């Protein structure tokens, strides 16, 4: 949702006050949090580490929970103290133990770490902590052996181990935990379910006189190789056993393989029918090498309902409801019903001779999932009907359609979706439209139009958290073709892709980046209509809360300002007029950079802040794009002046915002400042400031 240029000054003052709280850190509240439960805290000014040769100061300081002040932190720039650079003196011994433990894990078994002095900075900026390190010689692994299993532990398994000849020896046997697990699972993969491993670390002659040496031996007792016997299922009260067995990769009579167990667990969890899935070997006969397998599942409740309520500038009252069942008749089929009703107050007032009555808009859909198409794929089917008001064009749109498709996973993080859809849009004149608009409607002769399309979506998810991402990336792609041999009234093809990246920053928080591009073009029977051969609802739009903040919603790109052009667009495209001056584009390019950071003190209440730089636009023709369009700033002057902002310019904006994290995602308020305002008419131009309110991250 975007607030127009006449947004309330009260909201502006509230945002400025909140930004002030962010920068100042609310000293009084901070003072209270510093002395929680009476624990003494000191300010850190410097952490000095002496005697270290193998590792530099920065690497060692990064291991400590206590931190030096960040020089470029907003509070430091204002002459205040960085309140994250605090420590409790009685916990310094714990920090010394962290350093010593880290050294021993890297072969320095005789290391000594001690606190030398803690003195106050002469200028009163905090404590100076001096830590002394005596490293001693490093112990390297000379040999790694596997008595009892030399023939079973192949080169591939050896290379998976962290501790190999030539690397620093572990500090103690507890450090071998991950390698012991890799050994056991590697032998489980070969069917040795009863394997036991006892590690032994002993001194050995070093190859170099400067280091000490150690030999590591894993005493392995592999036991017999087991074959899977009977497979029993426990806990499936609502789900048919054959549905579970279809997803099991562990088959009776085959050798036991650990990877097959993990694959089976993943397949069962993906059905969303079970809260937990575990496997347990039973009745292991070591003489026959036979082991039965028990599959234990904890089922979820299959039926659910949902209800929601909301308000907005256009949809004054919005009500949502839904019901679904994730396990029809125990077959794993899913059925869902969703309804959305809203009282819509579009800007029909200026088109009407009197006051406009609210329109009841709606969206109803029925979803069904069949999990075992051809024993391998799932089949998703969606039916929907909706009514939508386009106030400025004086139209109501009634849409009916269905979409069916299947999904498959070529990898752990990638989902491919192949779908076929049919949609029919029926426009009708708004009952409150003025007589002139109704006459134009009758003259245009708009009729219902249908679109039949085939699409392929690729979704590659590698983020650590889809709702609150902090690390990783997301890649998406779409290829779609409509009309032509598929039939229907519209023929076009579409290609689009996007990349989202997330990483940490030296100043804390998360740096989020998004790049998106797309193209949609008419062909066949729609080609003679040019760019307008692409239906309005299939075009690209930019500007607003989730694309280029600082500009009104869907306001960028080619505009419709001439009434003759309005009529021409109606007649040539055979689609309803847009409800805003923007007519949409056939080419899209977006770029977004956002720094998300915790707000001092207020982060205890899940309040965060952002700074962002957004850019983007849509174009009707590729030849409309030039290198000069990507300049960072320009003014809304005379359209004939080359220095003025053109509608084809790549539009940039800067801004800041506040996030409040909730169980369903962040609630966000952003304020954007456009860097390239354009003139939309002889008297009007883009707003200097635009406020946005929404739920969830923009990307």
**Closest to 699 measured CA to CA, from 415, 466, 464:** 466
Residue 461: which H helix or E strand, with range?
A: strand 449-461
Assigned domain for 216 exists: yes
Assigned domain for 534 exists: no
Q: Do 60 and 129 fall into the same domain?
A: yes
Q: Do 247 and 170 fall into the same domain?
A: no
For 521-573, write each residue's pLDDT tens digit: 999 988 888 777 888 778 899 999 899 999 988 889 887 654 444 444 443 33
Average pLDDT of the segment spanning 311-321: 74
Q: Do 158 and 113 fall into the same domain?
A: no
For 142-161, write each residue's pLDDT tens digit: 999 999 888 888 878 888 99
Of 306-310, 422-426, 626-630, least confident by mean pLDDT is: 306-310
Say yes or no to pLDDT of 74 above 60: no
Spatial separation of the C-alpha atoms in residues 18 and 464, rounded to whole Å = 30
Assigned domain for 519 exists: no
At residue 283, what are phi and psi to the nearest 5 degrees? 45, 60
Say yes or no to pLDDT of 4 above 50: no
Assigned domain for 91 exists: yes
Spatial separation of the C-alpha atoms in residues 423 and 419, rounded to whole Å = 13
Beta strand 607-619 with 315-328 is unpaired
Q: What is the pLDDT of residue 388?
A: 85
As a whole number of Å, the end-to-end CA separation of the chain is 16
Beta bridge partners of 683: none
Say yes or no to pLDDT of 575 above 60: no
CATH for 214: 3.10.20.310
pLDDT band, very low/low/confident/very high, at 311 (cuts 50, 70, 90): low
Query: Which of 251, 277, 299 marks a domain boundary?
Result: 299
Q: What is the pLDDT of residue 214?
A: 94
Q: Do 46 and 127 fall into the same domain?
A: yes
For 215-258, write each residue's pLDDT tens digit: 999 999 999 999 999 999 999 999 999 999 999 999 999 999 99
Average pLDDT of the segment spanning 594-613: 90
Average pLDDT of the segment spanning 266-282: 92
Beta strand 139-145 with 86-87 is unpaired
DSSP letter for 206, please: -
The total number of structural domains that make up the chain: 3
At residue 481, what are phi and psi to the nearest 5 degrees? -135, 135
Of 118-122, 266-270, 433-437, 585-589, least confident by mean pLDDT is: 433-437
Average pLDDT of the segment spanning 395-416: 89
pLDDT cut 70: percent of the chain above it: 84
Give Cβ neighbours of residue 171 (< 8 Å, ≥ 6 apart). Answer: 101, 104, 105, 109
Question: Which range marks the domain in which residue 204 is found?
Answer: 139-221
Q: Where are the alpha helices (DSSP H) in 247-311?
A: 258-270
Assigned domain for 543 exists: no
CB-CB contact of 652 with 676 (8 Å): yes
Assigned domain for 476 exists: no
Q: What is the pLDDT of residue 640?
A: 74
Say yes or no to pLDDT of 23 above 50: no
Q: Do 161 and 234 fall into the same domain?
A: no
Say yes or no to pLDDT of 580 above 50: no
Residue 42: which H helix or E strand, with range?
A: strand 42-50
For 75-114, write each residue's pLDDT tens digit: 555 555 556 678 899 889 999 999 999 999 999 999 999 9
State both tokens at 180.
């012991």
Q: Do 77 and 156 fall into the same domain?
A: no
- What is the chain's Cα-based Rg? 33
Q: What is the pLDDT of residue 582?
A: 65
More confident residue, 74 or 361: 361
What 3-state class would DSSP assign to 296? Answer: strand
Q: Where are the alpha helices (DSSP H) in 209-358?
A: 241-246, 258-270
Of 6-10, 158-162, 288-292, least confident by mean pLDDT is: 6-10
Q: Do 59 and 103 fall into the same domain?
A: yes
Average pLDDT of the segment spanning 468-474: 95
Average pLDDT of the segment spanning 397-407: 94
Q: Do 206 and 286 fall into the same domain?
A: no
Q: What is the pLDDT of residue 75?
A: 53
Average pLDDT of the segment spanning 389-394: 66
Q: Do 62 and 81 fall into the same domain?
A: yes
The CA-atom distances, in angstroms, between 146 and each of 169, 171, 177, 208, 221 are 16, 20, 16, 24, 10
This model's pTM is above 0.85:
no
Assigned domain for 518 exists: no
Arithmetic mean of pLDDT over the chain: 85
Of 109-118, 196-205, 494-503, 522-531, least confident by mean pLDDT is: 522-531
Q: What is the pLDDT of residue 581?
A: 52
Query: Which of 193, 221, 249 marks a domain boundary?
Result: 221
Say yes or no to pLDDT of 339 above 90: yes
Say yes or no to pLDDT of 601 above 80: no
Q: Do 266 and 206 fall into the same domain?
A: no
Q: What is the pLDDT of residue 421?
A: 97
pLDDT band, very low/low/confident/very high, at 191 (cuts 50, 70, 90): very high
Q: What is the pLDDT of residue 573?
A: 35
pLDDT band, very low/low/confident/very high, at 303 (cuts 50, 70, 90): very high
Query: Which of 175, 200, 221 marks a domain boundary?
Result: 221
Assigned domain for 653 exists: no
Q: Do 251 and 192 fall into the same domain?
A: no
**Alpha-carbon 678 to chain mean position:** 32
Q: What is the pLDDT of residue 371?
A: 87
Q: What is the pLDDT of residue 21?
A: 45
Q: What is the pLDDT of residue 356?
A: 59
More confident residue, 617 or 569: 617
Beta bridge partners of 274: 299
pLDDT band, very low/low/confident/very high, at 604 (cuts 50, 70, 90): confident
């Amino acid at each position: 949702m975007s607030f127009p240029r006449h947004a309330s000054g009260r909201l502006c003052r509230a945002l400025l006050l909140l930004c002030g709280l962010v920068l100042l850190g609310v000293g009084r509240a901070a003072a209270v949090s510093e002395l929680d439960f009476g624990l003494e805290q000191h300010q850190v000014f410097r952490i000095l580490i002496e005697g270290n040769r193998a590792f530099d100061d920065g690497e060692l300081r990064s291991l400590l929970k206590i931190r030096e002040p960040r020089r470029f932190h907003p509070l430091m720039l204002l002459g205040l103290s960085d309140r994250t650079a605090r420590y409790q003196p009685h916990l310094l011994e714990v920090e010394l133990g962290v350093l010593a433990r880290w050294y021993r894990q890297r072969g320095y078994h005789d290391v000594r770490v001690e606190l030398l002095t803690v003195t106050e900075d002469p200028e009163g900026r905090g404590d100076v902590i001096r830590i002394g390190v005596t490293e001693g010689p490093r112990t390297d692994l000379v040999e790694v052996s596997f008595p009892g299993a030399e023939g079973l532990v192949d080169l591939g398994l050896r290379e998976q181990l962290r501790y190999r000849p030539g690397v620093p020896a572990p500090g103690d046997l507890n450090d071998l935990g991950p390698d012991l697990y890799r050994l056991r699972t590697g032998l489980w993969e070969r069917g040795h379910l009863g394997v036991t491993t006892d590690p032994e670390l002993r001194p050995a002659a070093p190859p170099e006189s400067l280091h000490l040496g150690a030999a590591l031996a894993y005493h392995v007792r592999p036991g017999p190789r087991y074959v899977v016997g009977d497979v029993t299922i426990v806990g499936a009260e609502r789900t048919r056993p054959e549905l579970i067995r279809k997803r099991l990769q562990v088959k009776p009579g085959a050798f036991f393989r650990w990877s097959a167990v993990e694959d089976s667990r993943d397949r069962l969890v993906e059905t969303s029918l079970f809260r937990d899935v575990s496997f347990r070997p039973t009745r292991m006969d070591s003489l026959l090498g036979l082991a039965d397998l028990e599959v234990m599942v904890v089922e979820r409740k299959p039926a659910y309902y949902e209800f929601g309520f909301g308000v907005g500038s256009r949809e004054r009252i919005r009500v949502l409801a839904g019901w679904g069942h994730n396990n029809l008749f125990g077959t794993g089929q899913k059925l869902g019903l969703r309804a959305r009703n809203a009282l819509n107050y579009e800007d029909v007032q200026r088109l009407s001779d009197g006051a406009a009555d609210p329109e009841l808009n709606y969206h109803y859909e029925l979803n069904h999932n069949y999990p075992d198409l051809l024993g391998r794929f799932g089949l998703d089917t969606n039916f929907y009907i909706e009514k939508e008001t386009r106030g400025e064009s004086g139209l109501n749109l009634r849409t009916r359609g269905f979409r069916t498709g299947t999904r498959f996973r070529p990898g752990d993080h990638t989902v491919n979706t192949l779908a076929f859809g049919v949609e029919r849009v029926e426009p009708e004149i708004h009952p409150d439209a003025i007589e002139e608009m109704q006459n134009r409607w009758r003259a245009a002769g708009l009729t219902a139009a249908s679109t039949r399309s085939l699409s392929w979506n690729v979704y590659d998810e590698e983020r650590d958290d889809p709702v609150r991402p902090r690390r990783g990336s997301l890649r998406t792609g779409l290829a779609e073709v409509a009309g032509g041999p598929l039939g229907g009234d519209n023929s076009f093809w579409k290609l689009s892709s996007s990349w989202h990246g997330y990483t940490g920053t030296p100043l804390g928080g998360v740096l989020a980046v998004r790049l998106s591009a797309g193209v949609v073009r008419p062909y066949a029977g729609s080609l003679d209509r040019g760019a307008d051969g692409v239906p309005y609802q299939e075009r690209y739009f930019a500007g607003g809360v989730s694309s280029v903040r600082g500009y009104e919603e869907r306001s960028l790109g080619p505009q419709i300002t001439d009434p003759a052009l309005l009529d021409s667009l109606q007649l040539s495209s055979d689609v309803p007029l847009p409800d805003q001056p923007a007519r949409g584009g056939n080419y899209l390019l977006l770029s977004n950079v956002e720094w998300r950071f915790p707000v001092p003190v207020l982060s205890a209440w899940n309040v965060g802040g952002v700074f962002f730089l957004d850019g983007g636009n849509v174009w009707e023709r590729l030849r409309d794009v030039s290198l000069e369009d990507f300049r960072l700033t320009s003014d809304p002057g005379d359209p004939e002046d080359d220095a003025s902002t053109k509608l084809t310019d790549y539009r940039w904006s800067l801004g800041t915002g506040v996030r409040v994290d909730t169980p369903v995602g962040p609630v966000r308020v952003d304020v954007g400042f456009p860097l390239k305002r354009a003139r939309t008419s002889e008297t009007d131009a883009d707003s200097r400031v635009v406020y946005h309110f929404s739920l969830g991250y923009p990307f």
